[in-house]
Amino acid sequence: MKKLFVFLMVIVFAMLTTKAFARDSILIGFTTSLTGKLNAESKAQLQGLQMWANNVNKNGGIYVKSLGKKLPVSLKYYDDESNKERVQQLYVRLINNDKVDFLISPYSSDLTATAAIIAQQYGKIIISTGAAADDIFAKGFSVVYQMYTPASRYLTGALDMLKKHDPKAKKVAIIYEQSEFAKAVCDAAKAYAQKNGFNVVMFEAYTPNTTDFSAFLNKMSSSKPDALIGGGHFADGETLAKQVYEQKIPLKLISLIVAPAVPKFKEIGEAALYVTAPSQWEPEVSYSQENAKKLKLSYYGPSVKWFTDTYINTYHQEPGYHAAGGFASALVIQKAIEETGTLDSNKIKQALDRMNIVTFYGQIKFAQGKYHGLQIGHEMVYLQWLKSDNKLVKEIVWPTLAANAKLVFPYSTKFKK
C-alpha cells in the first residue's frame, strides 16, 4: 500500500512539474478602449504596455527562477468600447477562458472600479494603471494596486501654484465632469481650497459628452474668479479650454485634469497656450538612479531617456503620462516576478505589498491596511503649454524642484497680444 502511495505521489509530482515546465509564456490580460470616448487616453496606455512587452521579449523574457528559464510575455486584450458592462463581461472572460496570469486595468476610474470588483471576486492580481479615484481603494480590496497619484492630490498643487504667484487671488471656480474620477478630484480640491482660504465661487458638474459650456462659462464669468480648475477627460477638457479661449475669459490660472496632458491637446492651437495641468509623468522629469540614491531607494527598469526615445522611435510621437503609466504598470509585475522567482499569486502579492522603488515613472509604493493598494509613493508634476520657436510645447512649471520652465502668469496674458 505504501509503495502504491509513493508511486502515485511521484506520478502527481511529475504531472505538476511537466505542466510547470510546459509553460511557454506569461499571459497578462486587460481591456482597452479601442473605441468610445476614452479612446485617446486608452490608445496611449496600450502603446506603453505593448512597448514594455516588446522590450521584455526582445531580451528573451522574464527570468522565473522556480522554472529555471526565461518566459516571454503575451498581452491578451479586448475592446471595452469605454463601457462598464463590457468591462465586467470581458474581465470574467480573461480570467475564466483566457486563463491570464495577471491583470492590468482599463483606462479611467469608472471602468477600473468595475474591473477591480471582478479581479477581487476571483483573487486575481490587477494593477490599476489608469485610475486615480481614491474610492476604489476604500472598499477593502486585497489584490488591486494603483499606479497613479490618487485623485485627492490631483489639483491641490494648482491652488498652491496660484497662491505662490498671486497671494491676493481668492476666487476659484470648479467645473468638472460628472464622473467618479473627476468628482473625487474636485471634491478634494474644493476642500483643500476652502481650508487654504480660497472662496469657491462656483462648484458645478457637467454631464459626460457635454459639447457646449456656454451656460457654465456665462455663470462663471459673472462671479469673476481668479482661476478655473476642473475638467474630466480628453474630449470635454479640450472643448472647455477652447470655449474659455473663444470667450476670452480673463482668468489668472486655468488648470484642467487629463486633457492638456495628452500631446494632441496642442491641436487646438492658441486655445492651448498657457493652460496648465497636473500630470502623472512628463518626459522632462528627472527620476534617475542618482535621485533614487538620495531617497535611499533602489532604482528599477529603464531610464527616462530610454523610455522617451524608444517611444518616439516606435510611435513617432512624444509619450504622455498615459503611455508611461501603461509601461510602468507592467514593469512592477516584472519586478515582482523577478524578485520572487515565481508566478505564484500569493508571493507576487507579498512582493507588491513591500515594494518601494524608483522607476523612470517615479517612486512606487502601495498603502497597506485600510486603503490597501492605494498609491502613496508617486507625486504629480504640473505642466503648462508654452511656445518655443513658435511651436506649442509642454514644460514643467511646478513644483519648483521639478520645473524646467517658469509659469507664464496670468493665463489671460495671451489676450493682450
Q: Is the pLDDT of residue 205 over 70?
A: yes
Query: Residue 246 falls within a domain, yes or no?
Result: yes
Cα distances (Å, whole numbers) of residue 251 to 61, 178, 414: 51, 23, 11
Q: 179: domain CATH number?
A: 3.40.50.2300
What's the pLDDT at 396? 87
Q: Is the pLDDT of residue 18 over 70?
A: no
What residue ranges in 267-377 does DSSP mark as E strands?
A: 276-279, 298-299, 356-359, 362-365
Percent of the chain with pLDDT over 90: 78
Mean pLDDT of all residues in 158-175: 96
Q: What is the pLDDT of residues 334-389, one digit of tens each?
A: 999 999 999 999 999 999 999 999 999 988 999 999 999 999 988 888 999 999 99
Q: Are 185 and 154 in contact (CB under 8 A)?
A: yes
Percent of the chain with pLDDT over 70: 94
- Closest by CA position to 42, among listed 81, 73, 75: 81
- 249 vs 288, residue with greater confidence: 249
What's the pLDDT at 90? 98
Q: How far apart are CA 292 and CA 299, in angstroms?
A: 6
What's the pLDDT at 16? 45
What's the pLDDT at 10? 47
Same domain, residue pair 141 and 128? yes
Q: What is the pLDDT of residues 69-127, one digit of tens each?
A: 999 999 999 999 999 999 999 999 999 999 999 999 999 989 999 999 999 999 999 99
Cα distances (Å, whole numbers) of residue 165 to 227, 372, 398, 404, 406: 12, 37, 11, 17, 11
| 203 three-state secondary structure | strand
Query: Residue 2 falls within a domain, yes or no?
Result: no
Query: Residue 20 falls within a domain, yes or no?
Result: no
What's the pLDDT at 1? 52
Close Cβ partners of 311 (under 8 Å, ≥ 6 residues apart)? 47, 48, 51, 317, 318, 319, 323
Cα distances (Å, whole numbers) of residue 416 to 248, 249, 397: 10, 12, 22
Q: Residue 125 CB: number of other CB atoms within 10 A?
A: 21
Q: Are 394 and 385 in contact (CB under 8 A)?
A: yes
Same domain, residue pair 363 and 388? no
Same domain, residue pair 176 and 251? yes
Q: Is the pLDDT of residue 401 over 70?
A: no
Query: Residue 7 falls within a domain, yes or no?
Result: no
What's the pLDDT at 362? 87
Query: Residue 4 falls within a domain, yes or no?
Result: no
Same domain, residue pair 241 and 306? no
What's the pLDDT at 153? 86
Mean pLDDT of all residues in 4-26: 56
Q: Residue 336 CB: number of other CB atoms within 10 A?
A: 24
Grid cell, residue 84, equals 462598464
Which helix (H) or strand (E) is 308 found in, with range? Answer: helix 304-315
Q: The pTM is what? A: 0.77
Same domain, residue pair 185 and 304? no
Q: Is the pLDDT of residue 135 over 80?
A: yes
Query: Residue 10 falls within a domain, yes or no?
Result: no
Same domain, residue pair 338 and 411? no
Cα distances (Å, whole numbers) of residue 257 to 101, 154, 157: 33, 8, 12
Q: How far apart are CA 384 and CA 276, in angstroms?
A: 4
- Closest by CA position to 260, among listed 250, 273, 248: 273
Query: Residue 1 falls within a domain, yes or no?
Result: no
Same domain, residue pair 300 and 234? no
Residue-number span of the structural domain to which 169 is assigned: 153-279+381-415
Same domain, residue pair 255 and 392? yes
Mean pLDDT of all residues in 128-142: 91
Mean pLDDT of all residues in 263-289: 92
Q: Is the pLDDT of residue 214 over 70?
A: yes
* Average pLDDT for the chain: 92
What's the pLDDT at 358? 92
Mean pLDDT of all residues in 16-22: 48
Cell 491652488, located at residue: 159
Q: Is the pLDDT of residue 37 over 90?
A: no
Q: 38-47, 91-100, 326-335: lowest mean pLDDT where?
A: 38-47
Q: How far apart are CA 270 and CA 257, in angstroms?
A: 19
Q: How far apart are CA 297 and CA 291, in angstroms?
A: 9
Domain count, the chain: 2
- Closest by CA position to 112, among listed 146, 138, 81: 146
Query: Residue 9 falls within a domain, yes or no?
Result: no
- Closest by CA position to 28, among listed 333, 412, 407, 350: 333
Same domain, residue pair 163 and 254? yes
Same domain, residue pair 208 and 345? no
Same domain, residue pair 157 and 32? no
Same domain, residue pair 271 and 392? yes
